[in-house]
Chain A
Amino acid sequence: MLKFMLKRLFVAIPTLLILITVSFALMRAAPGGPFTSEKTPPPAVLENLNAKYNLDKHIVVQYGIYMRDLILYQDFGPSFKYQDRSVTEIIEGSFPRSAIIGLWSFFFIIIIGIPIGIWAAVKQNHWQDYSVMSFAMSGVVFPNFVLAPLCVWLFAVKLGWLPAGGWGDGQFNYLILPIFAMATSYIAQVARLSRGSMIEVLSSSYIRTARAKGLPTSIVLWRHAMKPALMPVITYLGIAFVGLITGSVIVDQVFQTGGIGQHFVQGATNRDYSLILGVTILAGALSILFNAIVDMLYTALDPRIRY
């Protein structure tokens, strides 16, 4: 296992380096720059700005400076858009908020998505199955950019039960709608996956053997079917988890929770080179980490898998 982890770490470093280099190049290839605006500053001012942010240097030199600061000082550099702030500071402020909404969403995805999926599988082709599947389908066809404003309109504007937006110092009533908007489509996905996977497992021969031996359904389900049925769900959840805790631009825009999700889009729109690299590195590192965790979970669930 230790060897496996070391191997993973060994692969992670070049992966991240490639990610940073490609993102750096792609960002610079986009037309315009951080100081392109409708009211273009005069050339002298633009020169001063470029000099201040090293943009007057050759792109390879800029890349070198960026990598040096990143590796030696763990410094993501100053934001180009929010001129008085560093990228580290922006991430520190926004990531915890998205992570809190993401963790809550993850919690609800697991305690709702998996049980209803399995329930539907056990009651395949009964009304339970049909209702879970209709919910799952609507969760997939109702994306969160439709769901989120609808929720605000209903629960905040019409009914006045919940706040329409803001972080509210993290009080739970401010988080309910963002979590709902974030989790619904994932719950639907997880329910579909668990159902499909469970149906497949339940029709396999070793389950038939277990049933033939006269084991009660609950034992068959819990002891023999559950672990293998969860394998594809866990693969999906590993990737989904990173997406959840790094926020969503929709949730950030509709609810103004101050999360990190919006920076993935706005960083690109504003050509905030350092911010977009910062959030990319964060998301990349988390993806690598959670993929490794998922691989380790496999060994716990399936004794045939060994590293």
Chain B
Amino acid sequence: MSSIKKIALSMAVAGTATFAISAASAATIVIGNGAEPASIDPGKIEGQPGGMVAYQLFEGLTALNSEGEVIPGAAESWTATENNTVWTFELRDGLKWSNGEDVTAADFEYAWKRVVSPELASPYSWYMSKAAQIKNAQEAIDGTVEPSMLGVTAVDEDTLRVELKQSVPYFPSVAAHYTMYPVPQEVIEEHGDMWTRPGNMVSNGAYKLDAWTLNEKMDLVRNTNYWDNANVALDGVTFLPIEDENSELARFEAGEIHVTATVPNAQIPRLKREFADEFTIYPNLAVYYYEFNTEEPPFDDRRVRKALSLAIDREVIVRAVTKGGQTPAYTFVPTFVAGFEAPTVAESSLNQIERDRMAIELLAEAGFGKDNPLEVDFLYNTSEFHRSVAVAISQMWKQKLGVEMNLQNQEWKTFLETKKAGGFDVARAGWGGDYNEASTFLDLLRTGHGNNDSNFSNAEYDRLLVEAARAENANEYYTKAEAIISEEAPLAPIFYYTRTRMISENVQGWPVGNAQDVVYVKDLSLQ
């Protein structure tokens, strides 16, 4: 009966809560965070809501500036040797945890080894092996070597040495990710899973955790032990995990929130009119696309896939359907990814009339046309937004190519399972980059990648990605790989996502130039 008793007791306690009005501090910013983070332990976080909290609580070796470029974080400098396979980071002097203890290189070593340990079962542990390419990361995750064998060593208190499996020229950019944040060993060993609770949690960022009520709010307050505390303007942050976009907007309009996580798509025209200064659109490192089941006839024929891709009028989709300032996508990698040079592909260089003509020809070659219509089973996850895009595209395909499209929607996890099992001809998909480099997208189409749901397999493509990882300048390989995507059309990129937020006029310094949407509240201020 113990849990029942506890519940009854907590009911009684909550029932006597005082009705006093708490004075809200003017220097606290209130941010809508979209959803309740599943965890705020950097080793277990996956996704934006958890990341958003971690950016404030912790500081990694490196950070990103408002344009998404790498800047020093806890490390003040770094060097690479031996063809970018060994990296050495020098930490700043006088770094402290929020409990006053020193932050040392050993804290990073501990954190990284913890992430790859099978015991923690971190959902983002793959980041250490696939993105950061740290030596022995994959082996540790697989359980074939001890996590202590991971290629990271605290040479002394201030020096961290990282050995990689292969060259990663952009490693400092990778190291800005929350999965690579340091964590306090003693605190974790003392409290176990409970270390992320208010009162227990110790962190090294500009803020520390003060209060957290699941599905209501999370309060962060200034960490006076932070090395750059003198330059931090705001005393606190409150995150609200509001999933319902309309409710979030209402709370913004009622003046309860400074920044929303998003806005409801249907409201965009009104918001543009009534809140011209607050309604904000900026690029997001993510692509919206349709994937083809390349193993299912007739979609194993590249001409069929290419024809369908060409016939999508992306301009119309973003202008008349999505309306959120999205950019038409003709390549899988967003054109604004650092260093990426998009190849000249047919989709982008022709006008829509020419593309349509080409599409009709290709489909006719493959044996389909208005007399012998192609039938497409289209799968998407239940959402008004996805439906409206699909309806528009099915119209385009029908009018131009005579394609008969059957729309089928499924609940999110059912949809993911169906897609994995290959139960579709064409399916809606989206992919967000984990770091600002083309491989975070291109990797997806490697043979056997866990998210390669189109089961695309191209030896030349795989070879180019291997070459790119070894090369001094990877971008030329990326351009070639992207040209293969365009030629073979395992997927049809449709548009690059945007972030749409309501940002109150008195918020200064929101990093709208950072497509990864990495926001450090320490750089913001309220006027």
Contact = CB atoms under 8 A, between A and B. Distances in A.
B256 interface: yes
A157 B18 CA distance: 26
B250 interface: yes
Contact of B14 (A33, A41, A85, A97): A97
A53 to B, nearest CB: 8
B46 interface: yes
B193 A84 contact: yes
B46 A93 contact: no
A84 B41 contact: yes
Interface in A255-301: 255-259, 262, 269, 271
B194 A165 contact: no
B433 to A, nearest CB: 11
A283 to B, nearest CB: 13
B130 A42 contact: yes
A187 B220 CA distance: 41
B254 A164 contact: yes
Interface in A138-160: 149, 152-153, 156-157, 160
B39 A39 contact: no
B216 interface: yes
Interface string B1-22: 1111011001101110111111
Contacts of A256: 215-216, 240-242, 247
Nearest to B216: A258
A171 B123 CA distance: 39
B22 A169 contact: yes
B254 A95 contact: no
A51 interface: yes
Given A92-B6, A164-B251, A39 B121 contact: no
Contacts of B129: 42
A210 B32 CA distance: 64
Interface in A78-102: 81-85, 88, 90-97, 99-100
B416 A32 contact: yes
A99 B13 CA distance: 12
Contacts, number: 188
B25 interface: no
Interface stretch (B321-329, B357-365, B407-415): B407-415
A49 B123 contact: yes
Contacts of B194: 84
B214 A90 contact: yes
A93 B216 CA distance: 10
B509 interface: no
Interface in A86-120: 88, 90-97, 99-100
A39 B122 CA distance: 13
B39 A32 contact: no
Contacts of A257: 216
A41 B126 contact: yes
A157 B416 contact: no
B250 A156 contact: yes
B217 interface: yes
A163 B121 contact: no
A30 interface: yes
A167 B216 contact: yes
A42 B126 contact: yes
A45 B213 contact: no
Contact of B244 (A32, A92, A254): A254
Contacts of A217: none
Contact of B242 (A83, A165, A170): A165
A207 B214 CA distance: 55
B413 A36 contact: yes
B344 interface: no
Contacts of B217: 166
B247 A149 contact: yes
Interface string A26-37: 000011110111
Contacts of B143: 44, 48
Contacts of A172: 19
A216 interface: no
B500 interface: no
Interface in A227-277: 252-259, 262, 269, 271
A40 to B, nearest CB: 5
A157 B247 contact: no
Contacts of B476: none
A37 B46 contact: yes
Contacts of B141: 42, 44-45, 48
Given A31-B413, A39-B46, A165-B250, A45 B125 contact: yes
Q: Which of A75, A171, A271 has the largest number of chain B CB atoms within 10 A? A: A171
B118 interface: yes
B253 interface: yes
Contacts of B36: 82
Interface string B138-151: 10011100000000
Contact of B214 (A31, A85, A88): A85
Nearest to A168: B22
Given A42-B141, A165-B256, A254 B247 contact: yes
Contacts of B451: 38-40
A171 B126 contact: no
Interface in B247-262: 247, 250-251, 253-256
Contacts of A156: 250-251, 254
Contacts of B254: 152, 156-157, 160, 163-164
A32 B38 contact: no
Nearest to A163: B256
Contacts of B99: none
Contacts of A33: 413
Contact of B11 (A35, A95, A149, A169): A95
A169 B18 contact: yes
A165 to B, nearest CB: 5
B418 interface: yes
Interface of A: 30-33, 35-45, 48-49, 51-52, 74-76, 81-85, 88, 90-97, 99-100, 149, 152-153, 156-157, 160, 163-172, 252-259, 262, 269, 271
Interface of B: 1-4, 6-7, 10-11, 13-15, 17-22, 36, 38-39, 41, 44, 46, 118-119, 121-126, 129-130, 138, 141-143, 193-194, 196-197, 213-217, 240-244, 246-247, 250-251, 253-256, 411-414, 416-418, 420, 429-431, 450-451
Per CB-CB distance, the 5 closest pairs between chain A and chain B, nearest first, are: A32-B413, A258-B216, A170-B17, A96-B14, A48-B121
15 contacts: A37-B123, A37-B416, A42-B130, A49-B121, A84-B196, A100-B11, A149-B246, A156-B251, A166-B251, A169-B19, A169-B22, A170-B19, A172-B19, A256-B242, A257-B216
Given A85-B214, A94-B215, A97-B14, 18 more contacts: A42-B126, A44-B138, A45-B123, A45-B126, A45-B141, A49-B121, A83-B44, A90-B214, A95-B11, A164-B250, A165-B247, A169-B20, A172-B19, A255-B247, A256-B216, A256-B241, A256-B247, A262-B215
